[in-house]
Amino acid sequence: EPEVTQTPSHQVTQMGQEVILRCVPISNHLYFYWYRQILGQKVEFLVSFYNNEISEKSEIFDDQFSVERPDGSNFTLKIRSTKLEDSAMYFCASSGQGGHQETQYFGPGTRLLVL
Amino acid sequence: KNQVEQSPQSLIILEGKNCTLQCNYTVSPFSNLRWYKQDTGRGPVSLTIMTFSENTKSNGRYTATLDADTKQSSLHITASQLSDSASYICVVSGGSNYQLIWGAGTKLIIKP
């Protein structure tokens, strides 16, 4: 069964450093998402991406964040200058043509620790 | 304000027993309601997705109900197994931009 994959599974970085989290969505999906989950808290929406552009973003997704689909398969989240409070699990998700009406399939997540 | 509230916050039951988890929402306009299962340290996995016109939907031992009038949903788990231990999250799609609004989840522990 096709699945969303994410790399790396864990990332430790120093405050102020840039990190890039990578995702490979399910191959025929058209909508892509990033979420984060701080330990013990709710899943929070960051951004959705469709047709090579951001379709929605939350207040969390400020100028420090950017997303890109550099080729036909990868979908990346970049944090330019990490802060301690960026420490969280970051999940990528994808869904098919129906967009918000369809099930979103989540990857296993990248655990980011900012020191 | 668009919100999703779940109860109980946590629940411990014995293997083989049934349980029901609750979800209340104040999301308008409403598009659909989803239940996800999230194992510790893993990504959420979809169990069911229901639109306005659906009252109940099953996925194996999981049965979700939706009352769009009272804005309540429940997830019933039948004959629980140890592998059911996880967080169960209610998520509502709606609002002006159809974002997913996440509940805090119910942490379910199944004891042998």
- Contact: A108, B42; criterion CB under 8 Å: yes
Which residues in chain B have their CB less than 8 angstroms from residue A101's CB? 31-32, 51, 93
Pairwise CA distance, residues A77 & A92, whole Å: 9
> Can you say whether the dihedral through the CA atoms of A115, A81, A39, B42 is positive or negative?
negative
Work out whether strand A53-57 and strand A43-50 pair parallel, antiparallel, or are unpaired.
antiparallel
| Residue B97 pLDDT greater than 80, yes or no | no
Mutation choice for A interface testing from B35, B88, B98 by most A CBs within 10 A: B98
Q: Distances in Å between the alpha carbon of B42 and those of A107, B38, B65?
A: 8, 6, 25
Mutation choice for A interface testing from B36, B40, B47, B99 by most A CBs within 10 A: B99
Poorest-pLDDT segment among A32-41, A43-52, B66-75, B93-102: B93-102
For the stretch A56-96, pLDDT in tens is 899 999 999 999 998 878 999 999 999 999 999 999 999 98
Tell me the β-bridge partners of A11.
A112
The pLDDT confidence band at residue B41, using thresholds 50, 70 and 90, is confident
Which residue among A100, A103, A106 places its CB closest to the CB of B43? A106
User: Phi-psi region for residue B69, left (φ > 0), alpha (ψ -120 to 50) or beta?
Assistant: alpha
* Averaged pLDDT for residues A45-64: 92
Mutation choice for A interface testing from B46, B49, B89, B92 by most A CBs within 10 A: B46
Question: CB of A24 within 8 A of CB of A108?
Answer: no
Which residues in chain B have their CB less than 8 angstroms from residue A102's CB? 49
Give CA torsion, residues A111, A113, B4, B6, to 10 deg: 80
Q: Which residue has the higher pLDDT, A95 or B95?
A: A95
- Contact: A107, B43; criterion CB under 8 Å: yes
For the stretch B64-83, pLDDT in tens is 999 999 999 999 999 999 99
Phi, psi of B27 (to 5 degrees): -125, 130
Tell whether B30 is within 8 A of chain A (Cβ).
Answer: no
Poorest-pLDDT segment among A31-35, A44-48, B28-32, B67-71: B28-32
The pLDDT confidence band at residue B52, using thresholds 50, 70 and 90, is confident
Q: Residue A85: what residue type?
A: E
Q: Distances in Å between the alpha carbon of A57 and those of A68, A111, B12, B47, B83?
A: 14, 21, 37, 25, 35
Which residue among A43, A56, A107 places its CB closest to the CB of B102? A43
Tell whether A100 is within 8 A of chain B (Cβ).
Answer: yes
Pairwise CA distance, residues A78 & A103, whole Å: 25
Q: How far is A17 from chain B (nearest CA, A)?
A: 24
On average, the pLDDT of chain B sits at: 94
Residue B64's contacts (CB-CB under 8 Å, 6 or more residues apart) are B33, B35, B47, B48, B50, B56, B57, B58, B73, B74, B75, B76
Taking alpha carbons only, the member of A2, A24, A21 closest to residue A12 is A21
